[in-house]
Amino acid sequence: MNGPATNSKVHEFCSPQRGASAQVAGVAGAAVDRATRETILRWRVNRLFWVKDALPPAMRPRHAPRDAESSKPEPLGFRCWSGDVDVDVRSPLTGGAFHAMPFAEQVDYLRMWQPETPNWDGPTREGLAGTFLAEVKTKPVFFFENASQFTGLDPVYATALVRGFSEGLEGKGILNWEPFWAFASWVLAQPDPETEIQDEFSGETQLERRWQNSRLEIARFLDAILNDKLASLPLTERAAVWQLIDALTRDPNPAPADEAAEGKCRMDPFTLSLNTVRGEAMHAVFSFIHWIRSHSPEAAPSGGNLDDVPEARAALEARLDAQLEPSLTIRSVFGANIPRLAHWAEVWLCDHLGEIFPAQNRNELGDIAWSTYLRFSQVNSKAFTLLHQQYTAAIARMLQDGLVEPRDRDARVSLGQHLVLCYCRGGLDFEQPGDLLAAFFARAPEPVRAEVLAFVGRSLVQSNEPIPPEIFARLLKLWNWQVQRATIGGGAGYQEVVA
């Protein structure tokens, strides 16, 4: 800042008619206490320090901050307040106080306690639900075998109860399942349309479903027990557990708006399936088949037609009807479970491959099922054999698909990874006529080939076990083949591949 014009502006800004010091000085005869003096001094430090060298000589003694009386100025930039922010929800009772209550009083307290609304800093139902969940985890079997006592609770407490079971029942033995079936059936019987729900903190309302979170927790819990992650579920409970799964497969969540690009959620379909009621219920259908087969392997030979699980078969076939189930989320669940179907129900899978992956009239449902299979399923030799036609078709159409997604989400990259893994296991050989791996590298765009080979390198570096010599030899052969192709072509189309 220099020159007369600049000095004039500084003088105008610092004159007695402007600023905090001028306002104080303008109060005739007012006594200026120490705090006010400190405020004025701080103002001068922060405002004038940065222009002190440009102040006119006559102004410096009065307005320039004096080192003996001031500290360093605040940094330039946006001024903001910084401090502790309490974002935790609050419970009306401590965990110890709730634990000290007899069981009947705990139930009554959950039924009767009401928070204030709006309630910015007081106790909330969510806070009490956290206290309740912690209590359930201390005695999960007791609460589980008394679950029917909690019918009639607010949905937030029902959700906490089931989540407490999911977090506390691992390795525990359950003698009586009936109370939980009664409680869960009561939850699923509650009418649950979208309705205006008032927020506890702000008092504002928004359109939501009151029981959706409770239903989601039940679906997750069922999937966990069917996969033997929690208490062991005996086959005698087959009818009861299926009744709940069947009801949950008809839940309206996810709705079409949830899957829309401009909708509530930006998750990919498979991730959305793990966070929606009907999606989790469809995972539970596949887990139900696994549970039946693992507990009664003599019921049907591997590779059957799902005759031993007619209830699950009917549910799967119903959800393959695009008119009944147009959801991309649900179709992704089929794609993710292709290896399980190949092992359990080879005949059924072959009969329905055309519905899961339409060869004619390719559509978005089939594309989602295929990309989910490639991205989220482990390579399985039986599934690879059954899907040979689908792999061939995917290779043939690679050039039709633009690079519209990040490479780690591009189904063509996942396709190449599948093929390389099959090659490592000896299932493919690029030197043989009609080989799928050779066809892939012949048609894949350069960025896709580069990412597939980078995947090979990362896998070798990150392996925690020694690489078997035969696999290392095959991968070295693959790399030399790609280098040879790049050399013959003068490097065209291989800049990313050999970088």
CA distances from 478 to 432, 449, 469, 472 (A): 13, 12, 14, 10
Supply the range of the domain harboring residue 302: 249-386
Residue 403 sits in the same domain as residue 370: no
DSSP string, 59-102: THHHHSPPTTT--PPPPSS------------B-SS-HHHHHHS-
Residue 179 sits in the same domain as residue 289: no
200 lies in some domain: no
pTM of the model: 0.77
Q: Considering 37, 63, 89, which residue would you say is the last residue of a domain?
A: 63
238 lies in some domain: no
Kindly indicate the confidence band of residue 250, based on its pLDDT and cuts at 50, 70 and 90. very high
What distance separates the 2 farthest-apart alpha carbons in the chain? 103
Kindly indicate the confidence band of residue 461, based on its pLDDT and cuts at 50, 70 and 90. confident
380 lies in some domain: yes
Contact 73, 49 (CB under 8 A): yes
Kindly indicate the confidence band of residue 465, based on its pLDDT and cuts at 50, 70 and 90. confident
228 lies in some domain: no
Residue 130 sits in the same domain as residue 55: no
pLDDT of residue 497: 53
Q: Report which secondary-structure segment, H or E, holds 343.
A: helix 338-344
pLDDT of residue 185: 97
Burial of 433 (0-12, 13-18, 19+ CB in 10 A): exposed
Per the prediction, the chain carries an average pLDDT of 82
Residue 362 sits in the same domain as residue 260: yes
Residue 262 sits in the same domain as residue 382: yes
452 lies in some domain: yes
Domains in the chain, number:
4
pLDDT of residue 304: 81
Residue 360 sits in the same domain as residue 311: yes
**Distance from C-alpha of 413 to C-alpha of 405, rounded to nearest angstrom:** 11
Residue 372 sits in the same domain as residue 423: no
Residue 351 sits in the same domain as residue 279: yes
Residue 167 sits in the same domain as residue 259: no
pLDDT of residue 34: 62
Residue 113 sits in the same domain as residue 59: no
Kindly indicate the confidence band of residue 401, based on its pLDDT and cuts at 50, 70 and 90. low
Kindly indicate the confidence band of residue 90, based on its pLDDT and cuts at 50, 70 and 90. confident
Residue 378 sits in the same domain as residue 277: yes
**For residue 420, is pLDDT > 90?**
yes
pLDDT digits (tens, 9 = 90+) for 97-135: 999 999 999 999 999 999 876 667 788 899 999 999 999
Stretch 81-93: mean pLDDT: 60
Residue 149 sits in the same domain as residue 177: yes
Stretch 333-358: mean pLDDT: 93
pLDDT of residue 410: 82
pLDDT digits (tens, 9 = 90+) for 166-200: 999 999 999 999 999 999 999 999 998 888 877 76
Looking at mean pLDDT, say which of 81-95, 268-282, 438-452 comes out highest: 268-282
496 lies in some domain: yes
pLDDT of residue 22: 37
In the chain, % of residues over pLDDT 70: 75
**For residue 214, is pLDDT > 70?**
yes
183 lies in some domain: yes
179 lies in some domain: yes
